[in-house]
Structure 1
Amino acid sequence: MKKILFLCLLIICTIALTLPVEGATATPIPPIKIHTGDWDSIKLTNAIAKYILEFGYGYEIRIHPTPEKTLSDDLSSGEVDVSFEVWKENHPATLERKINTGEIIDLGSIYSHASQYFIIPKWVAESHNISRLEQMKDYWYFFKDPENHHMGLFYPGLISWFVHDTNIEKLKAYGLTPFFNSITMPSGRSYEASFMKAAMNNQTIFGHYWSPSTVMGLDYWTILKEPELFEECSYNASSLNETSLLLCPFKDARVHKLVHPGLIGSAPDIISFIEKFSPGTKEISEILAYGYLHSIDDYDNLAQLYLKKYPDKWKNWIPSDKIEKISTSLNQNGEMVSK
């Protein structure tokens, strides 16, 4: 009888220990930290991913501004969990080495047709038969520096971008430095506004841009062909030193999604989504241009417009139960912006 009583007490105690204590909560899932940079396409792709991860998967998302020049260290250390838009050619070989050693995980390309290049207005190019970058030394006066009318003005990107340094080096290598001053802009939005203002007012401008982007959503530009500086130039960053990489002509860009290895353990259910996430260069450019022309500055708003306009794209990235949650949320939000 005593043995039976003892066993009963043991079972009761065991059950009591396994029951949740009133007021206790489960261990909170840490928020996912998404890297953002100061350019338009990454802000929109981040907003699209954020909406899907919050409303479809239930994660808390924090957008983490990180200078592009520290991104490699921030990803490998876990300061950020994921960057959805890393332009690998613009980074030194250190980034590729960290991917090769497993300090950063590469989950593949986000765009199949991303590009970066040097552009001028189409009407200038066509009226003077300008198609190659080296021709710009003969036409600098169409792009005069308002502070120095004896020089042209060149837009190389923001000083916080690796590509800014690349473009300054290219200007020297292509023999254009004696003809052009370079301008430093305070933000990605002001950089974008300079090109959009030129397009809206039929003005001239010369500089670096990329696709997808707000600017390249307009049919106003001619892309200038770069000279081949070195026959052996390659985009295999691990085999190049930091300097020679800068002198490679821009090719079709490798824009990839990179994550900190810890994300695979802490949020394994979203890895498949990140691998499949591919919003499209044309679609992103169209939404960005629409937002600019209609004075929509809220990227979360533009993300909802994207999700409503292109359901056939994002529904291929996630399971059916997540699709239902996101669709319900979009319907509840109503018409945020006109299509």
Structure 2
Amino acid sequence: MPIRREIYTRPPDLCKASPGDIDVSMEIWYNLSRDVIDQLESEGKIQRIGVNFPDAVQGWFVPTYVIKGDEKRGIKPMAPDLKSVFDLPKYKDLFRDPEEPSKGRFYNGVLGWFAEKVNTKKLKAYGLDKYYTNFRPGTSDALVAAIASAYERGRPILFYYWGPTWVLGKYDLTMLEEPPYDPEVWNALIEEENPTRACAFPLETVYIAVNTRLIKEAPSVVEFLKKYRTSNELTSKLLAYMQDNRASEEETARYFLRNYQDVWTKWVPAEVAERVKKAL
């Protein structure tokens, strides 16, 4: 069965393609395009058949050395009592914004992102806008560059990020505690202009979906995809491997097959697993 791989950069691309241009999508971020996915499913054009990873995360992070230090790098703890977003006011000087030294700097997402809007409301709801500037990098690459630069130099930085990503796979980071996700609080946070309460981002379940015709045309492929399952941690580690080694998708796939046999052998029949092992 010939396979063509396509990369879609945002949900609408996938949704336009779903009626017939593609057979499988390995990442359906349902909450980012709920209405369109629901419509395609109700029309019988696509079907979610499994979960790629159940624990995609979003939150506010600091390098772990900020809290615990790093003896190997000669870094002493800078904020040993920093655990939650409510501890941040007393550490504003640690994260000082060079352009507004009376406040700390919070690195938000890129202007216009859904998460950026949520974080902007969180800053106000948590009362942190009095202590921190809401710094929004121009691009995601600029955000990554700021994180990487601070980390490599052992400097403090407070930022929003998400996973799975190579950033979470490569760097030792700690996500700050927030009030637990609460649907009522979350909905108010999204809908109200000036919410007074906030909570953690919900964990995102990222699905695998297929064009419904594939269920009849390639049932063995569908059965394989139903068993396929990764995690935020595993995917982030593999993305970090790609980043560090400048590895291609194929090279990373081979690395995964060699080093994570306890994972993928559960997805296929024993005889298939043996053939793959021999081919490696």
Is the counterpart of residue 110 in structure 1 residue 59 in structure 2? no
8 A contact 2:46–2:212 mirrored in 1: yes
2:6 corresponds to which residue? Answer: 63
The 1-side partners of 2:212 and 2:110 are apart by 29
Aligned residues: percent identity?
27
The 1-side partners of 2:176 and 2:51 are apart by 25
Q: What TM-score do the two structures reach when normalised by structure 1?
A: 0.63
Matches within 5 A, 1:65-104: 65-68=8-11, 70=12, 73-74=15-16, 76-78=18-20, 80-89=22-31, 91=32, 93-94=34-35, 97-98=38-39, 101=42, 102-104=44-46
The 1-side partners of 2:129 and 2:155 are apart by 22
Of the three residues 251, 268, 271, the one matched with 2:222 is: 271
Q: What is the letter of the counterpart of residue 156 of structure 1?
A: N
8 A contact 2:51–2:206 mirrored in 1: yes
Deviation at 1:176, TM superposition (A): 3.1
User: Paired residues, what number?
Assistant: 264
The 2-side partners of 1:316 and 1:255 are apart by 20
5+ residue gaps, structure 1? 1-57, 235-239, 332-339
8 A contact 1:118–1:207 mirrored in 2: yes
2:137 corresponds to which residue? Answer: 184
Residue aligned with 2:127, SS: coil
Matches within 5 A, 1:172-211: 172-178=124-130, 179-187=132-140, 191-211=143-163
The 1-side partners of 2:188 and 2:49 are apart by 24
1:170 corresponds to which residue? Answer: 122
8 A contact 2:49–2:208 mirrored in 1: yes
The 2-side partners of 1:184 and 1:80 are apart by 34
Is the counterpart of residue 311 in structure 1 residue 261 in structure 2? yes
2:249 corresponds to which residue? Answer: 299
Residue aligned with 2:184, SS: coil
2:237 corresponds to which residue? Answer: 286
**CA spacing shift, 1:143–1:241, aligned 2, 3 Å:** closer
The 1-side partners of 2:211 and 2:123 are apart by 35
The 2-side partners of 1:299 and 1:168 are apart by 35
Deviation at 1:103, TM superposition (A): 5.0
**CA spacing shift, 1:305–1:197, aligned 2, 3 Å:** farther
The CA RMSD over aligned residues, in Å, is: 3.7
The 1-side partners of 2:210 and 2:99 are apart by 44
The 2-side partners of 1:116 and 1:287 are apart by 18
2:75 corresponds to which residue? Answer: none
8 A contact 1:143–1:204 mirrored in 2: yes
8 A contact 2:164–2:233 mirrored in 1: yes
The 1-side partners of 2:137 and 2:21 are apart by 28
2:74 corresponds to which residue? Answer: none
**CA spacing shift, 1:229–1:115, aligned 2, 3 Å:** closer
Q: What is the letter of the counterpart of residue 94 of structure 1?
A: D
Deviation at 1:308, TM superposition (A): 0.9
1:23 corresponds to which residue? Answer: none
8 A contact 1:111–1:255 mirrored in 2: yes
The 2-side partners of 1:318 and 1:159 are apart by 43
| Structure of greater Rg | 1
Residue aligned with 1:111, SS: strand
Deviation at 1:143, TM superposition (A): 2.5
The 2-side partners of 1:160 and 1:287 are apart by 29
Matches within 5 A, 1:20-39: none
